[in-house]
Structures are given as structure tokens and as C-alpha cells.
Structure 1
């Protein structure tokens, strides 16, 4: 992800009492897990698309995720949150995962990383 996109859309929050190296590892692996989840209609992962609004790692290793969809009528609305939950839960050391779909702020293509724009040929 480019520096500009990272500043604009970085969803990771790490206000945890976990040791910094453990928080960094969990953060890296959660992002890697999120990058394995693709909207079935778009050939870019949901992290690079900017669909992940917030990821919070808590002291007990539970993880709260706030995400959105490209539109409220997204055909994948029923499956994407479960795919996100499974991807995050697969990270060693992660406890309970809670995924919430939010609609504010509305998603727009400006949230996409440079990598997603390249994949989608949106330059």
C-alpha cells in the first residue's frame, strides 16, 4: 500500500497492553489475512479496496473489525463479513473476532490503494 493510501485509510488501531512486538506481529498477520479476502465481483482484495475501516486488537487478543461494502446492495453482503471473520480468526494468537458492517462514511473509490487502482486499471 502506498504511503498516501496508508495515511488516508489505515484502519489498524493498536491501543493494546500487549508487548509491542506481539502487537506488530498480530497487525502484520491480520493485514495479510485480510488481503486474502476478495469481493467475488472485484479482482482486488478488500483491504486494498479500502473496505476495512477499523481493526482494533484488544488486550485479551480479541479483535474488532469495522468494514463496509462497495454498495448497500452488494451481492456478497452475506458472505464477506464471515470471510473477514475467518481470515482474522486464522491468525495464531487471535481470540474472539467481531465483525461489524458500517455504512458511514460511505465507501468511495478514493479509499482504494494505488495497488487496487492498478489492478482495476483505474488510473
Structure 2
């Protein structure tokens, strides 16, 4: 699979995350880059020999429209746990490792997805707590917190979600056999 290599230039200062360590960096206006991946509402850029992740909300900084919400919501807070669970899985399929053009579900990174009623006092009735346990393709991946934050942000935007947690776990260790057949075909494995 040939990577996308669309040339772009930053039109304003923008903060990005360096791949693979996840540290933040600022790109000044006029920085040349190439888009290597545009999936799940974010962009992976190649800038002077370094991969960087640009959040979708900053797409205008490279002359792209800010992506719409990645998932169509049910439109109502009166969503039941089964409908919400399906929507959560649909949302998880919009989250990508910025180095791999396959979503985290197809990669086999999501181990647990729980949708539970909120039990805290003071929360409105009908709200749910979503708890995700996921892993990374490599234990030392510096992008783990970035991916977990993206998952959490997307889940919190869903109707009926009052709380979302994402725990990164390493048991069992991830391996290629956890990928779906579609992921293996996409990656040429």
C-alpha cells in the first residue's frame, strides 16, 4: 500500500504531537509538510523527517476543513445500554494509531468495553459510564496517552455518556494474531 503524500504548508502556528514518543511540538506558519495519513478525524504529517499527529480541530492550519463528528449520534439522551454499546464500538472504529492505517478495533487493541449505569449522586438519570481497556501494539509506544485521550474525547461526545475512562493494559500482550482478517489484508500481511 502506497502512503498518501499530499504536500501542505501550515497557514498558522499549530501544536502537534511527535510520533512515536508523543511529545508536543509547535509548528510555525509556513512549515512545509506532507500528509501521510488522514483517518479518524486527525492527520499524520511528515515534517522534516519526523512524523507528527495533527488533531482534526486544527485541520485549518494545513488548509483542510475541520472534520465533522466522526460518528453519527443517536440524537437523544434516551439511549439504552445496548444501543449505546453499539455506538461506542462504532466510535472506537474511528480511532487510529497515527502510524498504522487501521482502526484500533480491527487491530485488536480493545480488550474490554463496558457500558454501565452511572451510580454517582448528582448525575442525571439515564447517563452511562463507559470503561475501555485497551492495549498498544508496543508497550513503549509514546502515543498511548494520545490515542487514549482521543478515545475518551470521542466517547464523551456520545449521547448518554456521562463518564468515560480508558485504561491502557498490557495483559495479555498484543500480537499480530489479534488483528482482524481485514486489518491483515490492509497491511499486506
Q: How would you bin the TM-score normalised by the shorter chain?
A: 0.7 to 0.9
Segments of structure 2 that go 5 or more residues without pairing to the other structure are 1-78, 119-127
Could you say what the CA RMSD is over the residues aligned between the two structures, in angstroms?
1.3
Matched, 1:90 2:148: no
Alpha-carbon distance in structure 2 between the residues aligned to 1:120 and 1:95:
36
Give the secondary structure class of the aligned counterpart of 1:83. Answer: helix
| TM-score, with structure 2 as normaliser | 0.52
Matched, 1:42 2:100: yes
| TM-score, with structure 1 as normaliser | 0.78
Alpha-carbon distance in structure 1 between the residues aligned to 2:165 and 2:142:
21
Give the secondary structure class of the aligned counterpart of 2:161. Answer: coil
Alpha-carbon distance in structure 1 between the residues aligned to 2:85 and 2:181:
21
Shift of 1:78: 2.7
Compare relative contact order (CA 8 Å, sep 6+) and give the higher one, 1 or 2.
Answer: 1
Q: 1:54 aligns with which of 112, 115, 127?
A: 112
- Equivalent positions of 1:1-123 (< 5 A) are 22-60=80-118, 61-122=128-189
Alpha-carbon distance in structure 1 between the residues aligned to 2:165 and 2:145:
15
Deviations 1:30-82 (A, max 9, x none): 01111110000100000110111101111221011101000112131230110
What is the number of equivalent residue pairs in this alignment?
Answer: 102
Give the secondary structure class of the aligned counterpart of 2:144. Answer: coil
